[in-house]
Copies of this chain bind each other. A is one copy, B any other.
Amino acid sequence: MPRGNMLIAQSGGPSAVINQSLVGAVLEARKHPDVGKIYGARHGIQGILGEDFLDLRKETVATLEGVANTPSSALGSVRKKPKPEECKAMFEIMRRYNVRYFFYIGGNDSAETAHIVNEEAGRQKVELRCFHIPKTIDNDLRENDHTPGFGSAAKFVALALKGIDLDNRALPGVHVSVIMGRNAGFLTAASALARTAKDDGPHLIYLPERAFRADQFVRDVHAVYKKLGRCLAAVSEGVHDDQGVPILAKFTKEQDSHGNVQLSGTGALGDLLVAEIKAKTAIKRVRSDTFGYLQRSFPTIVSATDALEARRAGQEAVRAAVEKDADGSIAIVRKPGTRYGVRYDVVPLRSVARETREMPAAFINRQGNDVTDAFVNYAKPLAGPLPKMYRLKGVVARKELA
């Protein structure tokens, strides 16, 4: 066990529980005599390169616990992968700060950063333990049954759909919810958790795992509308055509700094789908809502299971690095059996870096416009219990005329 200082940072899109992982790691590290100073870099590797460090030993437990329950990356975040020369610069800084433990909280792009740093450290013979701590509301990290951040975002999406369903019952029409998820449809699929009664929305769910055909989408919507007099569709922002081109990419050239097409922060896809339905059917009331950033940082909408697991992921990463002198990532693995439970495995960084995972075929229905019961059973314990929505018993009064 090398004695030395620790450096931790956050990267990628924030979540409601990403600070649980930060605080879990920091409080765990404080217990280990081999860990000296605990530095928090602001805005990920950008803060490392800029020597922008906070002294996290100076934070009280009360503040840390408050931060753990506050959404969005408390250290700030960044979307940036280090080039080899930047790794060299970071190692020089880490050497001066006597950093022997490096923790990076984030999704697949952040895991790749940790992987690059780890590989370069090996190449340059730098004594450094590198750990990635999983986070992504997209739930698309490989090796993991699910990822911290997903459960809380899933809870938000499910509650939002419950509300939209009730709203749409009151003023019927077609409603399209556009939900985050570039390559994986898990979060959009979580809209299915809103359902209790048979005619509850969403009635249709479209995922990036299946090619999206606008004509089939309109036919599906129309069929539900003819049957129920209304229709709720949940559509992933990442839906694409059979060539793999995102539907939205045809209308925008905006890219994020990883070179991905910008899908969030715009209502364009929803408006596009609404226009398509209006052009091809006689349905008058057609609306869309794009959940955007609300779904990933909304205060108070947190899954208790998600918060707990995010905390544990941070703790386990520190334990593995310090006690086992290991590099890697923490993967959440579901225990077999009917009762929900997980364990925290150490997996190689390369196994979670860059590439993402999609929803298993068993979670998607044959027509590709809904999820299966298997998905609902999978996702339910992650989002946690949802409040019951009540309807009037609705005893129809005896007709006096007619």
Contacts and interface: CB of A to CB of B under 8 A. Distances in A.
Interface of A: 10, 13-14, 37, 39-40, 43, 51, 53-56, 58-60, 63, 66-67, 69-79, 92-93, 96-97, 159-160, 162-164, 166-167, 169-171, 175, 264-268, 270-271, 274, 286-294, 296-301, 387-402
Given A37-B397, A294-B160, A397-B55, A170 B77 contact: yes
A369 B195 CA distance: 41
A78 B172 CA distance: 9
Contact of A266 (B287, B298, B396): B287
Within the oligomer, what is the number of copies of this chain?
2
Contacts of A289: 265, 290, 292-294
B160 A66 contact: no
A162 B66 contact: no
A390 B297 contact: no
A12 to B, nearest CB: 9
Given A289-B290, A293-B175, A169 B54 contact: no
B267 A55 contact: no
Contact of A39 (B54, B92, B93, B397): B397
Given A59-B393, A66-B390, A96-B400, A271 B268 contact: yes
- Give the one of A96, A270, A392 with max B CB within 10 A: A392
B296 A167 contact: yes
B391 A67 contact: yes
Contacts of A300: 159, 300-301, 387
Nearest to A62: B390
Given A69-B390, A71-B166, A393-B59, A401 B93 contact: yes
Contacts of A396: 53-55
A164 B399 contact: no
A194 to B, nearest CB: 9
